Amino acid sequence: MKNEEILLLALLQASFNKEKLTNDIVASLNDESLAKVLSLSARHSVTTLVADVLLTNDLLDDGELKAAYEENLMVSVYQYHQQAMEFKRICNLFEENGIDYIPLKGSVLRSLYREPWLRTCCDVDILVKPEQLDAAIELVLTCGYTFDKHYSHDVSFFTEGNMRVELHFDLIEEEHNICHVCDVLKDAWQYAHLQEGTKHTYQFEPELFYFYQLAHMTKHFLHGGCGIRSVIDIWLLRRHWQFNDEKNKMFLQKGGITVFEEKINALAAAWFDDAEKPEEIISIENYIFTGGIYGSRQNSMAMENVENGTRLRNTIAKIFLKYSVMKYYYPVLQKHKWLLPFYEVKRWCKLIFFKEHRDRSLTYLKEIRSFPDSRAKESMALLLQLDLKKESD
């Protein structure tokens, strides 16, 4: 592990376990190492946790570095209060107008942290029933929201304060159908129950919420990385919630992510509980560190090579996008699939005649052609180890 990775984990552990940093760790904190920790923590969306520990323990000298950590902390607190206010507003709106809904992701996970603002979120996620989606959209638009995009599983909006809100109507992302997670998530509402004292506010059973978080994490993992924050979320869920182990086991087996869950929990235990780190999870650790919260370009390309088999097939896949992807770039295809060839040509024209798109596409295709086979082989071995791919695939 790199020094900044060791320091980052030590600071995170101190935050969660309320432990004092060892003398060796404190001695390692200097402008150079703290700058690297700042950069690494930002890529994994955990800078607020690190800043809280450093500032609380007065471990930063006055200067630009301290100012950067302080600014991150203040922005996170401000963003949390803005999101909490907007979340409450939309929940009240749905409750008063008969829209059944379920809070998702960060809105729920924040309660597991020592302070809710320590868990950053880039948007507000809420699940509504498909048959109530149109009514829900009409309501948020009347409240001043601006429509952004319609995807296979959600509709996104921006508030007047430029905050992103996503109304999910399905937990299954059509273009990211992983293992067999859809076999569980297609029946998600069956595992939702009304919150006490409400008429339309539902919450998932702990086991279903836990499974959904793992399924979402697996999706990001397969597309370049899931970040340290996702591992923290899973670790905190296991730490603070009570689960029916048999139901957890049933969901994980049915969804095909049992091994993935086991390895992630083993990694979290090694990071935050001082458990022994098995040799077999070091490759997973390295992949997560290099990927960041949204995945790295190199990790993503390695996974694409695994998915498509060869660099040639990967290149072709970038030139001819799947219908499942194209129909969300060009919504007219959802009703007129036969127009796909025409819109492929339209997309090519955009890539050819607009310099910014052309340069970006040519650079990416060059990177694909020169991408080392060894990286693809490493990624294949990693997926086999996690049982996310079979030898026969």
Q: What is the pTM of this model?
A: 0.89
Q: What residues contact 354, with CB distance under 8 A and at least 6 apart?
A: none
Distance CA 280, CA 289 (A): 16
Q: What residues contact 22, with CB distance under 8 A and at least 6 apart?
A: 10
The identity of residue 163, as a single letter, is: M
Give the pLDDT score at 240.
Answer: 97
Please give the helix or strand (H or E) that residue 156 lies within, else none. strand 154-158
Give the pLDDT score at 193.
Answer: 97
Give the pLDDT score at 273.
Answer: 94
Q: Is 10 left (phi over 0), alpha (psi -120 to 50) or beta?
A: alpha
Give the pLDDT score at 177.
Answer: 60
For residue 152, the tally of other CB atoms under 10 A from its CB is 16
Give the pLDDT score at 93.
Answer: 96
Q: Position of tokens 């049982």?
A: 387
Q: Are 134 and 116 in contact (CB under 8 A)?
A: no
Q: Are 214 and 264 in contact (CB under 8 A)?
A: yes
Tokens describing residue 262 = 């086991």
Q: What residues contact 326, with CB distance under 8 A and at least 6 apart?
A: 333, 340, 343, 344, 347
Give the pLDDT score at 7.
Answer: 96
- What 3-state DSSP class applies to 203? strand
Tokens describing residue 97 = 């107008």
Indicate the domain borders of the chain: 301-385
Tokens describing residue 313 = 């097939």
Please give the helix or strand (H or E) that residue 192 lies within, else none. strand 192-194
The whole-number mean pLDDT for each consecutive block of 10 residues of the chain, a chain of 393 residues, reads 95 90 92 96 96 94 95 95 94 96 96 95 94 96 91 90 93 71 93 96 98 94 91 98 97 95 97 92 93 80 71 72 77 85 85 77 70 76 86 61
Give the pLDDT score at 310.
Answer: 67
Nearest alpha-carbon partner for 154 in 180, 124, 189, 187: 124
